[in-house]
Amino acid sequence: MPYSPATPSASSPTHRLALAVVTQPERAPNPFMAAPSGAREEAMRFLLQTGADAGVRLIATRPEGDGERLLGQAWPFPSPFQVTVRTVPLSEGLDRIEARARRSLERMGLPRGEVLLVSNAAELAGAEGRALWDRLRSLKDKGLFRAIGFCATVEDGPALLARRLEADVVQVPCSLLDQRAAQDSVLEAIAEAGAAVHLSSVFAGGVLFAGGDELPPELAAHAQSLSRTRRRLAEQRCDPMQAALGYALSLKGVDKVVASVASAAELRAILAAAHAPCPNLDWASLALEAPAALTADARARISSAA
């Protein structure tokens, strides 16, 4: 039976949002950094309750850092949330991947997860790719996860991989600045392959919010283009976050839009932007001419929203 999300998308944009809680020093101020343990747990509890009250139902997690433990200590009761879990690198071995996926659930105090994602689709194309996928399928068959899938870039050929593996979920980056996954019909092809589409990097790693002096050297050539995009948005009285979410939520075939958030205040801003009416913008005119420049390394060096 094809995978269907436990919480189907509803008319409200909030039901299509998934939250990736940032607990590492990826931007400042971050209430999860340099704070007493009790304060960190209270900040997480407040953030989660804010999301729960708004109707958010999916939390996207990573195995790095202390985020899973914090989540496990702060879930609302009863918790309305499902979680996506990501694998550790294949270089750590298949046994370690399986053990760490189980450990992720234990740290969060959950008997099962919604989705288990291979963190790097390229690992599925290698010599151990089939064995890796079989491990994930085994965890699904045992009832530890309702669905399995992978995180991919446009260059990975995610639609063909999803069809070959009969994946349940594919997470792929797409944003106002890098629209290739939409413009090249990659998102539609993934959905046609039978996989639910989760959109990541919708804020382009914070590039859309960064001033010219905040851009890393490899993106300096795009400063003028970014300034022009922000100016066009200002002329339409549409702020960058509103535009980023408006674009992501407008895309057909997308089941979830993953937004990173570091505090309840940020979440409230995201929720307000998601619900704000968006002007009739020419989305294509707002994209960078060379969006492949938005590499993970470049984005990681910008301290704004991810």
Digit-coded pLDDT (tens) for 40-83: 899 999 999 999 999 999 999 999 889 999 999 999 999 999 99
Looking at residue 301, its pLDDT comes to 39
Residue 7 in any domain: the answer is no
Q: Give the predicted TM-score (pTM) of the model.
A: 0.89
Residue 305 in any domain: the answer is no
Q: CA-CA distance, 275 to 277, in Å (whole number)? A: 6
Q: CA-CA distance, 56 to 19, in Å (whole number)? A: 8
Residue 215 in any domain: the answer is yes
CB 47 within 8 A of CB 267: yes
Strand partners, 261: 21
Looking at residue 2, its pLDDT comes to 67
CB 87 within 8 A of CB 101: yes
Residue 187 in any domain: the answer is yes
Number of domains in the chain: 1
Residue 8 in any domain: the answer is no
Structural domain boundaries enclosing 69: 13-300
| 118-176 pLDDT per residue, tens | 999 999 998 999 999 999 999 999 999 999 999 999 999 999 999 999 999 999 999 99
Strand-strand pairing, 58-60 and 196-200: unpaired
Is the pLDDT higher at 231 or at 218? Answer: 231
| 98-118 pLDDT per residue, tens | 999 999 999 999 999 999 999
> Residue 249 belongs to a domain with what CATH number?
3.20.20.100
Residue 306 in any domain: the answer is no
Q: How confident is the model at residue 6 (pLDDT cuts 50, 70, 90)?
A: low
Residue 56 in any domain: the answer is yes
Instruction: Supply φ then ψ for residue 233, to 5 degrees.
Output: -65, -40
Residue 198 in any domain: the answer is yes
